[in-house]
């Protein structure tokens, strides 16, 4: 897949990365500069433990085009104090705070905390309702419970949501799309063996697709196995453009418009 020409490409958005992680210590300014040079106009850096929120906020405050979100990652729920709706709502007052989470359910490694994860998820959903900010969902090996809770809560009161780094099955994808939610395409969608996942994205409405890196994780080819970074979202966007039969520029423009609609506080 040819690398997009940054001089000609429409800016694309990395809707989910983790710029505060120690993988980037000593070179955050440089990697943000590399992302801009590659044609990445905006980034959302995600705080996964509220104790780290001040540092994540500082990164967003320091850099134009960098926004942030915060919540308790489901794999951290057992090790962190249970977050409150009021805490999340208070954080949302910051002008660069644009989303609630990431939150969700992960039964792959942390199924023993499933009940607490579900409680935490419902708290984050209520904060998303109150703030009108999008919920950012992590889902792994929990498709049935995820679909059930998202649907139950939406019936109790509408909210918006993105299924970050979507790599679950078609039933959860359809449940999310039926609720008006968005699916975010990560480097996993560019892996050669991800045919079924690409088919899920291809069947989804184009106006409900975002792209992300989840950096430092899940680098797309040809960087697979190395540390990921926001500049590489252009690789995933190039795969998305091919999947939808579009030019890179048109796909970048469409996913950026989708991002603006969902992450309205970060709209261009």
41: tokens are 């106009």
Identify whether 187 is part of a domain. Answer: yes
Q: Is 207 annotated as a binding residue?
A: no
CATH code assigned at 83: 3.20.20.140
Domain annotation covers residue 1: no
132 phi, psi to nearest 5 deg: 65, 20
Domains of the chain: total:
1
63 is in an annotated binding site: no
Q: Are 191 and 224 in contact (CB under 8 A)?
A: yes
What is the domain range of residue 226?
12-266
User: What is the average per-residue pLDDT within 218-246?
Assistant: 95
Domain-embedded: residue 3: no
State pTM to two decimals. 0.95
Residue 144 marked as a ligand binder: no
Q: Which residue has the higher pLDDT, 6 or 181?
A: 181
Mean pLDDT across 170-195: 97
User: Is 6 a residue whose pLDDT tops 50?
Assistant: no
Bond into 248 cis (ω within 30): no
Residue 4 lies in a domain: no
Residue 154 assigned to a binding site? no
The answer to whether residue 7 sits within a structural domain is: no
In tens, the pLDDT along 8-58 reads 468 999 999 999 999 999 999 999 999 999 999 999 999 999 999 999 999
């Amino acid at each position: 897949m040819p690398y997009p020409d940054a001089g000609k490409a429409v800016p694309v958005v990395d809707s989910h990365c983790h710029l505060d992680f120690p993988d980037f210590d000593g070179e955050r300014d440089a990697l943000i500069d590399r992302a801009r040079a590659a044609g990445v106009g905006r980034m959302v850096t995600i705080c996964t433990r509220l104790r780290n929120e001040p540092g994540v906020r500082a990164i967003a405050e320091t850099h134009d085009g960098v926004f942030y979100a915060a919540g308790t990652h489901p794999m951290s729920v057992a090790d962190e104090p249970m977050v409150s709706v009021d805490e999340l709502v208070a954080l949302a007052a910051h002008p660069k705070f644009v989303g609630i989470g990431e939150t969700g359910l992960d039964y792959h490694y942390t199924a023993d905390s499933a009940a607490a994860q579900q409680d935490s998820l419902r708290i984050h959903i209520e904060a998303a309702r109150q703030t009108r900010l999008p919920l950012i969902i992590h889902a792994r090996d929990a498709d049935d419970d995820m679909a059930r809770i998202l649907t139950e809560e939406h019936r109790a009161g509408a909210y918006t949501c993105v299924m970050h780094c979507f790599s679950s099955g078609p039933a959860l994808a359809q449940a999310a799309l039926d609720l008006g939610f968005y699916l975010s395409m990560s480097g996993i969608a560019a892996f050669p063996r991800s045919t079924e996942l690409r088919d899920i994205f291809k069947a989804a409405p184009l106006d409900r697709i975002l792209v992300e890196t989840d950096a430092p994780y899940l680098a797309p080819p040809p960087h697979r196995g190395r540390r990921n970074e926001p500049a590489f979202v252009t690789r995933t966007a190039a795969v998305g453009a091919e999947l939808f039969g579009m030019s890179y520029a048109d796909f970048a423009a469409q996913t950026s418009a989708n991002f603006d609609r969902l992450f309205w506080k970060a709209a261009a």
